Protein backbone atom coordinates (compact mmCIF):
# COMPACT_ATOMS: atom_id res chain seq x y z
CA UNK A 1 0.00 0.00 0.00
CA UNK A 2 1.33 3.46 -0.88
CA UNK A 3 2.63 5.65 1.92
CA UNK A 4 0.64 8.65 0.78
CA UNK A 5 -1.07 10.10 -2.27
CA UNK A 6 0.50 12.91 -4.29
CA UNK A 7 -0.94 15.04 -7.04
CA UNK A 8 1.74 16.38 -9.38
CA UNK A 9 0.74 19.52 -11.30
CA UNK A 10 2.92 20.98 -14.05
CA UNK A 11 2.31 21.95 -17.68
CA UNK A 12 5.51 20.23 -18.89
CA UNK A 13 4.22 16.77 -19.81
CA UNK A 14 7.61 15.05 -20.04
CA UNK A 15 8.61 16.37 -16.64
CA UNK A 16 5.38 15.11 -15.10
CA UNK A 17 5.73 11.72 -16.78
CA UNK A 18 9.34 11.10 -15.69
CA UNK A 19 8.86 12.38 -12.15
CA UNK A 20 5.60 10.45 -11.69
CA UNK A 21 7.34 7.23 -12.65
CA UNK A 22 10.25 7.92 -10.31
CA UNK A 23 7.87 8.51 -7.41
CA UNK A 24 5.87 5.37 -8.21
CA UNK A 25 9.08 3.32 -8.23
CA UNK A 26 9.51 4.56 -4.66
CA UNK A 27 6.11 3.31 -3.58
CA UNK A 28 4.24 6.60 -3.73
CA UNK A 29 0.76 6.78 -5.24
CA UNK A 30 0.90 9.55 -7.84
CA UNK A 31 -1.69 11.25 -9.96
CA UNK A 32 -0.97 14.12 -12.29
CA UNK A 33 -2.50 17.14 -13.97
CA UNK A 34 -1.13 19.35 -16.74
CA UNK A 35 -2.93 22.52 -15.73
CA UNK A 36 -4.67 24.19 -12.84
CA UNK A 37 -8.22 23.39 -13.91
CA UNK A 38 -7.39 19.70 -14.27
CA UNK A 39 -5.73 19.72 -10.84
CA UNK A 40 -8.79 21.13 -9.13
CA UNK A 41 -10.97 18.55 -10.90
CA UNK A 42 -8.69 15.73 -9.65
CA UNK A 43 -8.99 17.03 -6.09
CA UNK A 44 -12.76 16.74 -6.29
CA UNK A 45 -12.45 13.09 -7.37
CA UNK A 46 -9.88 11.98 -4.81
CA UNK A 47 -8.15 13.01 -1.60
CA UNK A 48 -4.47 13.80 -1.77
CA UNK A 49 -2.20 14.44 1.18
CA UNK A 50 0.29 16.38 -0.91
CA UNK A 51 0.14 18.48 -4.07
CA UNK A 52 3.34 19.36 -5.93
CA UNK A 53 2.36 22.48 -7.83
CA UNK A 54 4.21 24.44 -10.50
CA UNK A 55 3.85 28.18 -9.98
CA UNK A 56 4.02 29.28 -13.63
CA UNK A 57 1.42 27.55 -15.78
CA UNK A 58 -0.73 28.71 -18.69
CA UNK A 59 -4.24 29.72 -17.75
CA UNK A 60 -5.00 29.27 -14.07
CA UNK A 61 -1.68 30.01 -12.41
CA UNK A 62 -0.18 28.09 -9.53
CA UNK A 63 -0.93 30.71 -6.89
CA UNK A 64 -4.62 30.82 -7.77
CA UNK A 65 -4.76 27.01 -7.67
CA UNK A 66 -3.06 27.13 -4.26
CA UNK A 67 -5.61 29.65 -3.03
CA UNK A 68 -8.47 27.41 -4.12
CA UNK A 69 -6.92 24.27 -2.65
CA UNK A 70 -6.44 25.92 0.75
CA UNK A 71 -10.05 27.04 0.62
CA UNK A 72 -11.62 23.71 -0.35
CA UNK A 73 -9.07 21.18 0.96
CA UNK A 74 -7.42 22.86 3.94
CA UNK A 75 -5.64 19.69 5.10
CA UNK A 76 -3.97 19.04 1.76
CA UNK A 77 -0.41 20.31 1.85
CA UNK A 78 0.99 22.10 -1.19
CA UNK A 79 4.66 22.20 -2.15
CA UNK A 80 5.34 24.81 -4.84
CA UNK A 81 7.71 24.25 -7.73
CA UNK A 82 9.46 27.40 -8.79
CA UNK A 83 12.28 28.36 -11.12
CA UNK A 84 13.84 30.59 -8.49
CA UNK A 85 13.77 30.84 -4.72
CA UNK A 86 12.84 34.06 -3.05
CA UNK A 87 10.71 35.42 -5.86
CA UNK A 88 7.48 37.32 -5.47
CA UNK A 89 5.58 34.11 -6.30
CA UNK A 90 7.50 32.02 -3.78
CA UNK A 91 6.96 34.51 -0.99
CA UNK A 92 3.32 35.03 -1.89
CA UNK A 93 2.86 31.27 -2.02
CA UNK A 94 4.16 30.83 1.50
CA UNK A 95 1.87 33.63 2.64
CA UNK A 96 -1.09 31.82 1.04
CA UNK A 97 -0.31 28.69 3.03
CA UNK A 98 2.04 26.60 0.91
CA UNK A 99 3.88 24.02 2.99
CA UNK A 100 7.20 24.73 1.30
CA UNK A 101 8.76 25.26 -2.11
CA UNK A 102 11.31 23.50 -4.32
CA UNK A 103 13.49 25.04 -7.00
CA UNK A 104 13.69 23.41 -10.42
CA UNK A 105 15.51 21.23 -11.32
CA UNK A 106 14.62 19.42 -8.10
CA UNK A 107 16.69 17.00 -6.09
CA UNK A 108 14.44 13.98 -5.66
CA UNK A 109 15.73 13.10 -2.22
CA UNK A 110 14.99 16.62 -1.03
CA UNK A 111 11.54 16.38 -2.60
CA UNK A 112 10.84 13.04 -0.91
CA UNK A 113 11.86 14.43 2.45
CA UNK A 114 9.56 17.44 2.11
CA UNK A 115 6.68 15.32 0.82
CA UNK A 116 7.01 12.99 3.80
CA UNK A 117 6.85 15.92 6.22
CA UNK A 118 3.97 17.45 4.30
CA UNK A 119 2.02 14.17 4.31
CA UNK A 120 2.55 13.86 8.06
CA UNK A 121 1.18 17.40 8.52
CA UNK A 122 -1.78 16.58 6.27
CA UNK A 123 -2.68 13.55 8.37
CA UNK A 124 -2.29 15.20 11.74
CA UNK A 125 -4.18 18.28 10.48
Partner 1 sequence: MPEKVRELSRVKEIGFMGKVTASLSHEIKNTLAIINESVGLMGDLLRRDAPDDWPPYSRLTNLMGSIEEQVQRSAAIVKRLNQFAHSMDKPLVDLDLNETVNQTVLLAQRFATLRRVNLETQLESKPLHLLSDPFRLLYVIFGFIEGAINCSPKEAEVRVKTARSGERFQVTITDQGTVEADKIRALVSASPSAEGEQGESDLALLAQTVEALGGTIAAEQGDGGLNKVVLSFPASMPVI
Q: Does 21 bind partner 1 (CB under 8 A)?
A: yes
At closest approach, how far in Å is the CB of 117 from partner 1?
Answer: 21
Coil vs helix vs strand at 56: coil
- Of 1 and 25, which has the nearer Cβ to partner 1? 25
22 binds partner 1 (CB under 8 A): yes
Q: Judged by CB under 8 A, which of 44, 58, 95, 124 binds partner 1? A: 58
Nearest in space to 35 (alpha carbons), one of 75, 6, 65: 65
Task: Determine the size of the site formed for partner 1 (CB under 8 A).
Answer: 19
How far is CA 116 from each of CA 44, 77, 101, rounded to the nearest angstrom? 23, 11, 14
Map residue 100 onto helix, strand or coil. strand
Please state the closest distance from residue 24 (CB atom) to partner 1, in A.
Answer: 10
Tell which residue, 67, 64, 99, has the closest CA to residue 80.
Answer: 99
Q: Which stretch binds partner 1 (CB under 8 A): 10-18, 44-52, 62-70, 93-101?
A: 10-18
3 state SS of 29 = strand
Residues that bind partner 1 (CB under 8 A): 12, 14-15, 18-19, 21-22, 25, 56-59, 61, 83-84, 104-106, 108
Amino acid sequence: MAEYRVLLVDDEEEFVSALSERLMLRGIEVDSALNGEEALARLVEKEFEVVILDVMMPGLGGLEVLRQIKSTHPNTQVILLTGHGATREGIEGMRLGAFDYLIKPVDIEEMLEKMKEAAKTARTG
